[in-house]
Amino acid sequence: MLEKKYNAQEKENKWLEYWKKNKIYEFKPDERKVFSIDTPPPTVNGKIHIGHIFSYSQTEMVARYKRLRGYNIFYPFGFDDNGLPSERLVEKEQGKKAHEIGREEFAKLCYKTTDKYEEEFQTLFSKLGVSTDWNIHYKTVSPATIKISQLSFLDLVSKGHCYHKESPALWCNECLTSIAQAELETKTIKTTFNYINFKTVEDGEEFTIATTRPELLPAIVCVFVNPDDEVHNHLIGKTAHIPVINEDVPIMADEKVAIDKGTGVVMCCTFGDQTDIEWWKKYNLPLKYIFTNDGRIIDEVPTYGGMKIKEARKQIIADLQNGGYVVKIEELEHEVQTHERCGKEVEYAVMKQWFIDIINHKADFLKIGNEIKWHPAHMHARYDEWVNNIAWDWCISRQRYFGVPFPVWYCQKCGEPIFAKKEDLPVNPLVDKPSIQQCPKCQGKEFIPENDIMDTWATSSVTPLINMRYGEKENYEKILKPMSIRTNASDIIRTWDFYTIVKSFYHFGQRPWDNIMISGFVMANKGEKISKSKGNSNAEPMQLINEYSADVIRYWAGSGRLGTDISFSEETLLRGKKLINKIWNVSKFIEMHLADYEDKTFNDFEYIDKWILGTFQEMEKGFIKYLDEFEVGLALNHLEKFFWNFCDNYIEIVKHRLYRPEEFGEIPRYSGQKTVYTILYKLLQDFSIFFPFITEEIYQELYHDEKSIHLTEIKPLKLDFAKEIENGNDIIDIISQARGEKSNKNVSLKTSIKNLTLSLNKELKEAIELAIKDFKATLFIENLNINEINDGYTIDKIELNLDIKEK
């Protein structure tokens, strides 16, 4: 028997245990088709916020839907614990920088810290009812993952897509590492635009250059003006004298200079920004790099050597002012590129880095993008836009400690890279030795290990390979190439999605997944993204689960359309709470009337029963259509609408028949029983996608034909009740109007109707006559008169029996 009140906290824990014990979500290859999900391994860097709950729940619902459609679900869970995010977390918790702690000790702390958070993550996601198979979970720093990541690297090297080169790379002098274009975040900052007077060496003519970065004056290698700039083009070919620094550089022409920006005269440094780098390459300019890796001016620069970048900026401005070279200083707000992990402005550094060639294969990546079905479709445009605008090859080396090491040593004598053998992986070049004794190029016998580690994304981008156990004898390559679906939020299309496509293309020449499902964001306030750094979310997932139950949280998470931002709403939670309560109550009611029920073949359904069965069938069609597009929110909305109709209209009609067989007959009662039995079963299945706990509780109590409702299969009805649906809806409308009359008279719905006169078209008249007992009982009708008309229907007369009102 279902209890009077549903105790969510108690039941949810009970079913969690049960699912775990009975391995309900275990993945085992069998004859069924596999539906595989490439879920984002969350970055283990602190707390899970409501945004995680939102997007992971949506993926989870897709898994449950496909399971109910008979697929064998491959649904692993990963933790992204390697790389910079983990390092920063540890640095924050320890209050010390990595280099102060020491490489080995620091790595230990990273493992310890990420383990701790992973446990918390796992507990929370479990409590939420995530139907993942925890046996196939992975971590991005485990030996198995490191091996695959290194294997991927070696494969790309052997195919010529990965190269080691001294080249300018984006550099973060807070994190002391190079970074990739995708890790940039634009930020608006306040700075000054400084107008500085220069002179030509030849004739002492003054001209002005406006710059936001006067500290780069010692790095100037030349000055550019646009050849079409009538005011300045006579300067071309002359020599500019740099004030304060006292050096001379050539004045050159380039069309890229914007005549109307600043003064129209530009100083070119190596490296101030991307244009500088372009010019450096185009005109083969000398290299004059003046920053140290930790953000100071190099000692070789007179006066300013050793100063921090910002200090030097101040000092140079002061010196320029003293010399009378400053024309004016404007306050300026502009956008700068910052490192998304720390928020500090990025610089450029020149050193040997490992790059993956992406510039030369844009067309291939676009082609793969076209082969994948995007949900919602418009997210595809974001991907294409990103690919089209890529300006740099993907720099995958990071000058950090905690991550996947490169399986590489260098010959001390000639610098030739020596790669590890595939069968020796995973290797740590700092500890392990290369398998060869001497350099194949110069016969040198001493080797230097690669100190750098790989970018986090270099590993995250191989999650499909991790899932398929790439390189292992026993693997899932056959069933996971490609995987069925990738799911993530829109912010990492340019990183995770793109890089995964890059890797998949280079390794296998094919798409990594058939589908990609992009979720939106949870907004804290209107137009404000929830983020850990802002701390603007007061919705604590664990607290919410305890207060409302996982099913209710899932109701909120499952609302809304794919790719659309939603805001956290207490109101939606309340609505979910009411819905779940209703499911419980109607199940109790149905259980009550099924005490003597035996399921057997039966075709003699009452008219109203045909109506609701047909209506359900139609609803489920739409429900399935939405879910096949992965629109879980719209599917739920659709289902919910039917469910309230079922409760408020159908149950109100059928209850009389169920309660009083002596009045209605045993067969009509059985018809009602069979109908509620059938529909509740199907409703529970459909709802189980969203509410795995309460549906399991009711299913186990009432049906129990499988070990779990989550192992049942949705089998759509195949009835032909189109007429009954149409006329049934009209009957409901008439009932509703009659109830309205009672409401308007401020009387109870139990008030009987002394006389009701209806005018109905022929078809509807016949329908009501077939459902006459139900119809009369529902409205408490004493006398009913029906006239036949050609079209439509009207209530001609309704006379309430008000005598029994008082009591």
State both tokens at 557.
Answer: 């998470």
Instruction: State which amino acid sits at residue 76.
Output: P
Question: E-strand spans in 457-600?
Answer: 483-489, 513-519, 522-525, 528-529, 566-567
- Give helix then strand counts, H and E, for the chain: 26, 29
Based on the shown chain and the rule CB under 7 A, indicate whether residue 566 belongs to the binding site for RNA: yes
Phi, psi of 511 (to 5 degrees): -70, 145
Ranges within 581-600 binding RNA (CB under 7 A)? 581-582, 585-586, 588-589, 592
Query: Which residue carries 């609408």 as its tokens?
Result: 641
Q: Which of 206, 528, 599, 628 binds RNA (CB under 7 A)?
A: 528
User: Alpha carbon of 439 to those of 409, 424, 433, 444, 446: distances in Å?
Assistant: 10, 18, 13, 5, 8
Contacts with RNA in 612-641 (CB under 7 A)? 622, 625, 634, 637, 641
Q: Outline where DSSP puts E strands in 526-643.
A: 528-529, 566-567
Q: Considering the complex, what minimum distance in angstroms separates the CB of residue 529 from RNA? A: 5
Among 166, 474, 571, 720, binds RNA (CB under 7 A): 571
742 binds RNA (CB under 7 A): yes
Please tell me whether residue 740 binds RNA under the rule CB under 7 A. yes
Identify residues 648-677 at the interface with RNA (CB under 7 A): 648-649, 651-652, 655-656, 659-660
Write down the least CB distance from residue 805 to RNA, Å.
9
Considering only 152, 181, 460, 673, the residue that binds RNA (CB under 7 A) is 181
What angle (nearest 5°) sits at the alpha carbon of residue 611, between those of residues 606 and 615? 150
Using the minimum distance from each CB to RNA, give the nearer residue, 197 or 569: 569
Contact residue for RNA among 190, 473, 478, 526 (CB under 7 A): 526
The residues in 248-287 that bind RNA, with binding defined as CB under 7 A, are: 256-258, 261-262, 266-267, 272-275
One symbol per residue from 535 to 564: x for binding RNA (CB under 7 A), - otherwise; what is it?
------------------------xxx--x
Query: How, if at all, do strands 239-242 and 184-200 pair?
Result: antiparallel
Side chain identity at residue 465, one-letter code: L
Which range binds RNA by CB under 7 A, 307-315, 579-587, 598-606, 794-802? 579-587
Q: Binding of RNA at residue 335 (CB under 7 A)?
A: yes
Q: Which stretch binds RNA (CB under 7 A): 48-56, 139-147, 445-453, 646-654?
A: 646-654
577 binds RNA (CB under 7 A): yes
State in angstroms the smallest separation of the CB of 786 from RNA. 20
Q: Which helix (H) or strand (E) holds 36?
A: strand 34-38
CB 575 within 8 A of CB 555: yes
Instruction: Name which of 670 and 793 has its Cβ closer to RNA.
Output: 793
Check binding of 436 to RNA (CB under 7 A).
no
The nearest distance, CB 760 to RNA, in angstroms, is 15
Stretch that binds RNA, among 12-20, 98-106, 236-244, 574-582 (CB under 7 A): 574-582
From 549, 620, 438, 479, select the one nearest 71 (Cα to Cα).
479
Shortest reach from residue 137's CB to RNA, in Å: 28
Closest distance of CB 729 from RNA, Å? 10
- State in angstroms the smallest separation of the CB of 579 from RNA: 9
Q: Which of 366, 380, 381, 374 minimizes the C-alpha distance to 501? A: 366
Region from 13-21, 90-98, 178-186, 298-306 binding RNA, contact rule CB under 7 A? 178-186
What is d(CA 741, CA 729) in angstroms, rounded to the nearest whole number?
19
Closer of 323 and 740 to RNA (Cβ): 740
Rounded-to-integer distance, Cα 268 and Cα 337, Å: 18
* CA atoms within 13 Å, Cβ hemisphere of 806: 1
As given in the structure block, the two tokens for residue 763 are: 């078809």
Report the run of H or E that residue 731 belongs to, with start and end: helix 722-744
Given the complex with RNA, which of 144 and 574 has the nearer CB atom? 574
Among 13, 435, 546, 736, binds RNA (CB under 7 A): 736
Which residue among 16, 136, 184, 594 contacts RNA (CB under 7 A)? Answer: 184
The footprint of RNA on residues 216-245 (CB under 7 A) is: 224
Binding residues for RNA restricted to 481-510, rule: CB under 7 A: 490-491, 494
Determine the Cα–Cα distance for residues 36 and 71; give it in Å rounded to an integer.
9
β-sheet with 793-800: strand ranges across: 781-789, 753-761, 793-800
Say whether residue 748 binds RNA (CB under 7 A).
yes
Phi-psi region of 583 (alpha: psi -120 to 50; beta: other; left: phi over 0): alpha
Q: Cβ distance 516 to 498 under 8 Å? A: no
Q: Where does this chain touch RNA (CB under 7 A) — which range of 136-144, 312-320, 379-387, 691-699?
A: 379-387
Contacts of 765 (CB under 8 A, 6+ apart): 786, 788
Please say which residue, 88 or 656, places its beta carbon nearer to RNA: 656
Residue 185 Cβ vs RNA, minimum distance, rounded to whole Å: 6
- Does 344 participate in binding RNA (rule CB under 7 A)? no
Q: How many chain residues touch RNA (CB under 7 A)?
A: 92
Q: Candidates 246, 360, 746, 790: give the one binding RNA (CB under 7 A).
A: 746
469 binds RNA (CB under 7 A): no
190 binds RNA (CB under 7 A): no
Is residue 789 within the footprint of RNA (CB under 7 A)? no
Give 118 or 565: the residue with its C-beta nearer to RNA.
565
Looking at the DSSP assignment, which residues form a beta bridge with residue 332? 191
CB 225 within 8 A of CB 235: yes
**Rounded Cα–Cα distance for residues 474 and 136 (Å):** 14
3-class DSSP state for residue 171?
strand
Amino acid at 167: S
Cβ atoms within 10 A of the Cβ of 565, count? 17
DSSP 211-245: ES-GGGGGGEEEEEE-TT-TTTGGGTTSEEEETTT
Under rule CB under 7 A, residue 212 binds RNA: yes
- Nearest approach, Cβ of residue 469 and RNA (Å): 33
Q: Which is nearer to RNA, 523 or 542 (CB)?
A: 523
Torsion 390-394-400-402 (CA) sign: positive
Using rule CB under 7 A, residue 773 touches RNA:
no
Strands of 389-468, DSSP E: 394-395, 397-398, 408-411, 417-419, 447-449, 453-454
Residue span 32-71 as binding mask against RNA, x where in contact by CB under 7 A, dash where not = ----------------------------------------
Tell which one of 13, 389, 443, 783 touches RNA (CB under 7 A).
Answer: 389
> In the complex, what is the shortest distance from the CB of residue 490 to RNA, in angstroms, rounded to a whole number?
5
Strands 453-454 and 397-398: antiparallel
Q: Can you tell me the distance from the alpha carbon of 805 to that of 807, in angstroms, rounded to the nearest whole number?
A: 7
Would you count residue 362 as binding RNA (CB under 7 A)?
Answer: no
Minimum distance, C-beta of residue 732 to RNA, in the bound complex (Å): 9
Stretch that binds RNA, among 89-97, 328-336, 361-369, 427-435 (CB under 7 A): 328-336
From 276, 267, 232, select the one nearest 247 (Cα to Cα).
Answer: 267
**In the range 192-211, which residues lie near RNA by CB under 7 A?**
193, 209-211
Cβ proximity to RNA, 31 vs 335, nearer residue = 335
Given candidates 238, 288, 739, 754, which one binds RNA under the rule CB under 7 A?
739
To RNA, the closest distance from the beta carbon of 659 in angstroms equals 5
586 φ/ψ angles, rounded to the nearest 5 degrees: -70, -30
Among 59, 150, 572, 617, binds RNA (CB under 7 A): 572
For 586, residues 6+ apart whose C-beta sits below 8 A from its C-beta are 646, 647, 651, 680
Instruction: Answer whether 566's CB lies under 8 Å from 520's CB.
Output: yes
